[in-house]
Structure 1
Amino acid sequence: MRILIVITLIFCTTLVHGQDEKVNWLDFEQLEEALKKQPKKVMVYFYADWCAYCKKMDRSVFTKQDVIALLNDNYYTIKFNVESNDTIQFGGKTFTNKQFGKKRNPIHQIPEYLASRQNAEIELPATIILNEDFEIKKRFYRYISPTEMLSILKQN
């Protein structure tokens, strides 16, 4: 009987622990240090607090254990609010939000740099996939379902 209780406790602890796993989001400064130590693919996720599809991705994609495991094992991940007012040092350059306070929805320079398109504004959510050399491989400007996200991450 005691063995059955111990096995049940171990099983339940493993289930609860597995459900607590989260995406290991980094900031750009942490990313720069990590890339120096060990090159790895990068996924950058740009969002805004007002973006309904961004909130949907947070709830339905970045909470799935298979997505979390794939991201944490194979990618460095950045989650960045496009309206941030933070000053960021990355790649020997300084990035700011020069529009902050001047425009209703000010866009930071980092998403403008990584997610910009010719003759089109940034659409959210924006997901950028980069290779180990920090070269952009794919850009997505829409909601991505958990199944599609898995497919994208496995392809790159």
Structure 2
Amino acid sequence: MKKFQLILWNLLLTISLSQAQEPVKQEINWISFEELNQALEVDPKPVLLFFHTEWCGYCKKMLRETFNEPRVIEKVNADYYAVQFDAESVEAVNFDGLTFHNHSKQKRTGKYHELAKLLLGQPKSYVFPTLLLFNQDFKLKNRQAKCLSIKEILNIL
């Protein structure tokens, strides 16, 4: 019986040590537009906006690969407020003292949110994924309407 308890104890100890040694996965600290509004009032710094849609394969690729690269995560978290936004979202968004909506009550392809339209510009420029970089005064400094590789985004940041 003591031998069984000793084996069980060693097994539990081994499992707990192996779990304790697993590295914590880093992620970009994505915030909402509402949180961005508050953050900019307290501590202005540059902003990264990532516009995507559910149907966009390149958007998913960037979220899966580019935004999971440790160097990208480190740079974005250190130097930017980061917001990712589904351009076809139907949720109301409060930003800069205004409330923005999607005139479509149901999420539909090609029915874009007012805030996405405002920030993306002319309808011909609605390309996904789109990355917008703003300075700390929220003035646009870079716009990339394509899938960015890790190398490309690091050069831009």
Tell me if TM exceeds 0.5: yes
Partner of 1:16: 23
- Summarize the Cα distance change of 1:57–1:24 in structure 2 as closer, same or farther, 3 Å threshold: same
What SS class does the counterpart of residue 44 from structure 1 fall into?
strand
2:130 aligned with 1:138: no
Shift of 1:115: 1.2
TM-score (norm 1): 0.83
Q: 1:99 to 1:66 in 2, by over 3 A?
A: same
Offset of 1:104 from its aligned partner? 4.1
Give the greater-gyration-radius structure (CA): 2
Using the alignment, how far apart are the partners of 2:118 and 2:108 within structure 1?
Answer: 18
Percent sequence identity is 35
Give the distance between the partners of 1:147 and 1:102, measured in 2 at CA: 33
Asked whether the equivalents of residues 47 and 133 of structure 2 are also in contact (C-alpha less than 8 Å), the reply is yes
- Residue 125 (structure 1) aligned with residue 132 (structure 2): no
- 1:53 and 1:104 mapped to 2: Cα distance? 16
State how many pairs are aligned: 139
One-letter code aligned to 1:146? I
In the other structure, the counterpart of 2:91 is 86
After superposition, the CA RMSD in angstroms is 1.8
Contact 1:47 1:54 in 2 (8 A): yes
Q: Deviations over 1:93-147 (max 9, x none)?
A: 1110013449642100111111113x61400001000000011111111000001
Structure 1 segments unaligned to the other structure (5+ residues)? 1-8
Match of 1:120, SS state, is helix
- Partner amino acid for 2:97? G
In 2, Cα distance between equivalents of 1:80 and 1:55: 13
- Inter-partner Cα distance in structure 2 for 1:144 and 1:102: 26
> What is the DSSP-based 3-state SS (H/G/I as helix, E as strand, rest coil) of the residue aligned with 1:54?
helix
TM-score by length of 2: 0.83
Does the 8 A contact of 2:120 with 2:126 survive in 1? yes
Q: 2:88 touches 2:107 (CA, 8 Å); kept in 1?
A: no
After TM superposition, which residue ranges in structure 1, 4 or more long, deviate above 3 angstroms? 99-104
For 2:50 and 2:106, locate their aligned partners in 1 and report how far apart those are by CA, in whole Å.
23
Deviation at 1:75, TM superposition (A): 0.1
The answer to whether the 8 A contact 1:100-1:106 is kept is no
* Counterpart position of 1:33: 38
